[in-house]
Chains A and B, each alone.
Chain A
């Protein structure tokens, strides 16, 4: 009884390490086959459409409301101290440093990552990937690499759009609704927000998150058990693992970038 428990534990640990290794080898394969994309940009553009453009609506709506809520909340918190002019600093810094990259990546994992896993997994389940191999087409180069690269490219763009829309949302609430001075709103932000330290580091975060989400999504799809149940599990795993990886990585990156 006890022995079998220990056996199970050992098997799970070994399985985890094996999967980790497989994931890394898979990533190397994907990166190695990236060069072939130069010859076929149409593949990448199609994936940019389904990964980036179709995620745009949810990002814009979420960004607008996050910005508006942040504007409202920080106004109520700061007005007690007579510091309501700092609303823009608070909103812009939170958006650029944390909320923009993190919330975008979480939404991206839910909207685009799960779709990538399901698509690639279904191709595997219906043996389309094997079919490609039969025709001497490398499925990693043809199917996986464009999706991966589209994810990596889309994330920083989406995060930038999220932050920009969020700032506009905060402007609408703080200036149009609550009557703050428009000049103070922008000049306070310009005085306190640094181009490289804040905007640049936020974009680096977004790029890293895009890399992680795209990697997890295509690997889970490519590695899934080719049954309807296995496909469902793989899609769930994509969202759960991506979200956890994003939040954990965010702490590490924040400590590295802003921990001076």
Chain B
């Protein structure tokens, strides 16, 4: 085989390999959620975040509008501090917006749901959400259920 055909085939091979990588990155991975790192940062304090993780989605009315960027524990108040970045085009959340840790489906992954309030001022970079609702922990619900059952008997 002459060297030109050889070089052509090797070039095609390398191109096919890179194209395959590119295709995997574009179609089956979360590449789309990487680029938009910019946006404004807000904080919320939860008693319990359940299984929330860094990079979990933040959604309003089920629409993904940002993601969780950091999760810390505040030892002073014994609460979890969740930092999230919201895409800049969604900038009209009032300052009395409430945040809750929700689960998608019965056993799905957990995400932060935002519920807008009625104030005229909007959340901006560094704002804090005051009204929060913790994740539902199955053991606690079952525990409460059992207690209420035993109360009924007495």
Contacts and interface: CB of A to CB of B under 8 A. Distances in A.
A251 B85 CA distance: 36
Interface stretch (B15-23, B91-99, B121-129): B15-23
Given A45-B6, A186-B28, A193-B28, 6 more contacts: A46-B3, A92-B28, A157-B17, A160-B17, A167-B24, A193-B29
A188 to B, nearest CB: 9
A45 B7 contact: yes
Contacts of A45: 3, 6-7, 10
20 contacts: A42-B3, A45-B3, A49-B13, A53-B10, A53-B12, A92-B28, A96-B28, A157-B16, A157-B17, A158-B17, A160-B21, A164-B19, A167-B24, A167-B28, A189-B29, A190-B32, A193-B29, A194-B30, A195-B29, A195-B34
A186 B27 contact: yes
A195 B119 CA distance: 39
A180 B17 CA distance: 28
B32 to A, nearest CB: 7
B131 interface: no
Q: Is the interface of B mostly helix, strand, loop or mixed?
A: helix
Contact of B30 (A154, A157, A195): A195
B5 to A, nearest CB: 9
Interface in B1-48: 3, 6-7, 9-10, 12-14, 16-21, 23-25, 27-32, 34
